[in-house]
Amino acid sequence: MSMVPHAFAVDVSVVDFKNNSFTQNPKIFDQIRRNTNMLPSTPSSSAAADTNKERTCDVFLSFRGEDTRCSFVSHLYKDLCRKNIATFIDSEKLQRGDEISESLLTAIQGSRISVIVFSKGYASSRWCLDEVVKIMNCKKLKGHYFVVPVFYGVDPSDVRKQRGSFADAFAKHEENFKHDVEKVKSWRTALTSAADLSGWDSQVTRYCQSIVEITSWPDSTLVDKIVKDILKKLDCRSSSANLKGLVGIERRTQQLVSLFQVGDFLKLGIWGMQGIGKTKLAEAIFYHVLNGFQNHSFLANVREHEESRNLSQLRKKFLSDILEDENLDISTPTIIPSFVKDMLSRKKVLVVYDDVSELSQFEFLFGGIDRFGRGSLVIVTTRNKQVLFQCGMNLIYEAKKLNKYESIQLFCQHAFKSNHPIKYQLGLSRMVLSFANGNPLAIKFFGSSLYGKNKNYQESAVKDLKQIPNPDILKLLRSSFDGLNPVEKDIFLDIACFFKGEDRDFVTRIMEACYPSAYSRIENLIDKSLIYISQNKIEMHDIWQHVGRSIVHYESPSKPETRSRLWIPEEIYDVLTKNNGTETITGIVLDMSKLAKLELEPVAFMKMRKLRILKFYHSCGRTLLLKGLLSLPDDLRYLCWEGYPLKTLPSTFHPRYLVELDMSCSHVEQLWEGKQDLVDLKVINLKNSKNLVRIPDLSSATNLEKINFCGCFNLRELPSSLQHPEKLTLLDFSYCRSIRSLPSFYKATSLTKLHLSGCSNLFSFPEVSSNVTELWLGGTAIEEVPSSIECLSNLRLLDLRGCRRLKSLPTGIHKLKSLEKFNLGDCSRLETFPEILDIMKRLRDLDLSGTVLKELPSSIHNLIGLKYLRLNNCENLVCLPDSLYTLKSLLHLSLCGSSNLVVENLFTAIGDRPVKQKHLPWLSSLKKLDLSESNLENLPTTIKQFPLLEELILRKCKRLKSLPELPPSLVYLDAHDCTSLEDVSSIKKLFEQELFCEDGSNRFLQLKFSNCFKLGEKCVGNDIDAYDSTSVEEVSSIKNLLKQVVFCKSLGWLFTNCFQLDQKAVRSPETPKLEMPFEHMVTALTDHHQAPPRRKNRIKKASLGRIIVTCVPGSEIPEWFDFKSLGSSINIQLPSEWWSNNSWINFPCFVASVAVSFPDSYNGMGFRFTSECHLKSCNGDNHDLSCSFSFTFGSRLSDHVFLVYDGFNVREFVRSKASNNRIYNVASFHFYLDEWNSSKCKVKQCGIHLLFPN
């Protein structure tokens, strides 16, 4: 049985200003002028200037000099300076007194971001602690002040809870500051607050499919990531500052933010017409609240991503943003691995889904995710209000048009660069705004078109508006297009018709081949707000794309063949099949998925001599050239033809101007005969062209940067001309099975990535320059790696997996000082691994799975940065060297399927190592250990000595009989298919650990014992489900267990069909058979007065989001309920003491009970249980709440009683009380069932019980 809580649906209407009409009365104009004088100034105002004047630096660095000044901090400071980020770092010679210096206080207050580098000795410095206090005060006082904690060699929880070295330091401080207890208290509070913020840890957890990897970053990588994060935050500050200057945005933002409450997961929907400012409002909220979330993701233009079939990429971005893993790959959209779900449910995240047009888009992006952590916020913008209801938004806001005063302000800012319009300007405003009707986009662009013009021109232009119908905004915006120079117009139209949403570098490359000074022209379009850049993609507002395409359409409304650009499939079909092409056409982009097929004549392109852009995509098997193709235009700059059906390009085609050739999945055997002039060619892609036999002479392609021939199975040889391209960076010949030899790439000094994986007939190791960083040779026939490999000083990745002929490695492998990842998996003849004669700092990932190694080198301890070691299915491996256990950085050790390995030695070594080694760390960092398919009978008791072990995998350990006491740090245990396992009683101690974190969030413990047939007792976690346990009579341990899970977000006590546990169990809350979790929860809340402040805060947070459900056999509402009624509705009078105290802890809770009648032998799939509450105040005001739960189950053998408590109700009541001071005295409840496959169940009785903590 599962429970899925559904959020409330609250429709919020935000009141807009009164729309006063304009008249010609001068007094009215004076009134308007006085109002506009009071409006906030633009970003270029003196207020903005004062802010910049106060700013002394971008970043302030707080650190313990003795720990990190000469190492990590110095690298971080240099990299920040290299990026032109003004950074304050205190001088080593700065004299230190009892108090923090004035210069440091000024630097903190004048910075935008503070980076706090927590190290082991940080808390021992009073200066450092004073800095943290000042930094956190700045964060509290400033709206957009970022604090970035960096946990360098310390556990974040040690900082948060002042444990370890931080505890030692505070012990001294408390001794030295007996006279000033408040100072020490302020230090502790500041440290806790700072450590609670999202920051950077030197260790990180990565997720990919079902694999969890724990890794530790080298300083260089950590510095790089922190600097990128700071750049993003500085950009966020700039973005936020820019948004503040938008007319009306701050008022609307504050209105919406005021409705947010600290508590559970909130979904906000914003809807309205195109161009009304939905996205800008979402951005404003996003940047306003950004600093309060652990992770965030802004997913722009969802609708367009779906139309271009790139929604999966957007989903990947969303998950990688939230889980902080760029390589995350979850292939099935609606199936999210359980560990990822658990991770997401604990994260407080901020996500914006912009421009969602259909429910299916939201389900695709959000599918498979039950919920995020408490306090998370999801924002969806759309033009269709219905989509928000379908998506389950619980707060819906209609983006309002600008009111008259705001419209005047926006227009005057853009038309006159002033907030103080004179009389004639107000007259112009009236005329324009009656047309624009409050649409910010239309107002902004038309106002800009009048800027700098004289009065006569402005009045004349505005008068012309009378001739244009009010909804015809396109003609209005056309005037901005007419102000562009000819080249800018062409680039604008190309982007509108072909390249919206494409990579900026790609578009710039094509445009530079078509037009002079294209780069600067694109910048001009950005400056004029006609296009914008988002995540390095060129974007354009829908209205502007419509403008551009309309301009092209009206070049020749009835004759598409005489237009400059074609993109509509039906029109392209007509032009090409009728051979109507003309010299006017400069670009064709055809989505062939919109057509069944396209059969072309040989002369289809003969007349299009000025065609520069030709793209057929989604066209594999859909384009036919049954009679061949006589020609292609020589003016082509970009040729993309997926699935090109011929064996070669036309012999008359001379691609002298071609910049990019993309013919993936084509039938080409050879591109052309002889030599061509290819001086402009930069990219060539024939991926998966399975018939390709040879590559033409590319010696003239001196500017070639990327070559991709991946999957060209019949390609036999490579031209020698590939040896010398000066700018070539990427060469991909993966899975070219017929290639037997390669030319030397030694002189290709720009080449950094060489992909040869799957070249199964390639026997020789390639000759490459020392600049290569990635070498992919997996699945080749290489028998040996030459000793010259040690010269590849920049090599970071070497992939030799599946090289089944490889027997040995050169002895100089240790000289690859830059190597980070080395994959030798499934090299089934590899018998030895060379001694590591020197320290290799950067190697972090080593995979030796599937080899026939008999032993590892004793010098493996020189891999001091190793984090992942995989030795799966190494059947000849008998033991591991003792030196392996001293690896300080090792996080993940996998020994799955190495059946002859005596893994007991691993644990014996811990307990029985020599006295002289007792001080050495012994796998002290290990977080994941995989011993699956081993021959273990009993796991040694010394396993509990792994201090950080979080995951233990014991799958298919068929001989394993029992589990010893496990490390308290363990959160995941997988013992699937351990068929001999009998005793797991020791895991009970894991439940004695704290099951919640300091912030009140859950610490999840996952246990898997599937197919463990000899296990005699069930293991219980956060949910108790005794489905069909007909012999259950007593549950005496619930009270004790409740004390441990009091902070769980949801709690289920589900005793379906447990007939021995009869309804007497719920008749009274004091009944010992089933002590009600509701009463114990209230008792726990009542006890908060005796708890320390930090625990009080956790109790508050936890109770607001609590969901408790109980289900037992029965047909009557429990006697102890205050209010009962037959049927599915009940009205109650709320007691006067309901609002008697302003403290939320005294608010009562609603416990609802419904008796559900099931037909005989009911076997439905389940139903959704929904409760609706209608509140009415003394003065007639109303407020509606609703709560839903989904139940899935098998058969029901009798009627059952459901009892539900939902903490969301408490939060809603608190919010209502705080926001409008209304006192509600009547509550009406209605309960109903929405079955999934029938309508046979019904609510027989219902009841309400009020719980008061005091």
CA distance 1135 to 1133: 6
Let me know: does 731 contact 701? Beta carbons within 8 Å. no
Quote the tokens at residue 45.
Answer: 């105002």
3-state secondary structure of 959: coil
Tokens (6 digits) for 132:
């943290």
What's the rounded Cα separation, in Å, for the pair 264 and 376?
Answer: 7
Q: Do the bridges between strand 660-662 and strand 638-641 make them parallel or antiparallel, or are there none, so unpaired?
A: parallel
Active-site annotation holder among 54, 92, 99, 131 = 131
How far, in Å, CA of 1019 to CA of 1015, rounded?
A: 10
Q: Three-class SS string for 548-570?
A: HHHHHHCCCCCCHHHCCEECCHH
Distance of alpha carbon 349 from alpha carbon 166, whole angstroms:
29
- Contact in structure between 943 and 966 (CB atoms under 8 Å): yes
How does 315-335 read in b/e, with b if 16+ C-beta sit within 10 Å?
bbbbbbbbbbbeebebeeeee
**If you write DSSP's letter for every residue of 500-515 in order, what string do you get?**
TTSBHHHHHHHHHHHS
Q: From CA 979, how far away is CA 1220, in angstroms rounded?
A: 61
Assign 15 to helix, strand or coil. Answer: coil
Fill in the amino acid letter for 706. K
Amino acid at 926: L
Find tokens 């993003």 and name the residue. 232
The answer to whether the CB of 491 falls within 8 A of the CB of 497 is: no
Host H or E run for residue 1208: helix 1207-1220
Rounded CA-CA distance 705/835 in Å is 38
| 131 catalytic residue (yes or no) | yes
CA distances from 399 to 258, 433, 741 (A): 16, 18, 64
Q: Please report, in angstroms and rounded to a whole number, the separation of the first and last CA atoms in the chain.
A: 34
Q: Is residue 859 within 8 Å of 893, Cβ to Cβ?
A: no
- DSSP-derived 3-state class of residue 797: strand
The answer to whether 268 and 395 have CB atoms below 8 angstroms apart is: yes
d(CA 199, CA 293): 11
Dihedral pair phi/psi, residue 147, rounded to 5°: -120, 125
Q: 181-195 and 126-141 are packed helices; what angle lies between their axes, rounded to 10 degrees? A: 60
State the DSSP code for 24.
S
Q: What is the Cα 546 distance to its own chain's centre?
A: 31
CA distance 38 to 36: 5
- Kind of pairing, strands 868-870 and 845-847? parallel
Residue 335 near residue 288, CB atoms below 8 Å = no
The Cβ-side half-sphere exposure at 1068, using a 13 Å CA radius, reads: 4
CA torsion through residues 1018, 1022, 1025, 1031, sign: positive
Residue 1129's beta-bridge partner residues?
1230
Helix (H, G, I), strand (E, B) or coil at 149: strand
Question: What residues are annotated to the active site?
Answer: 131
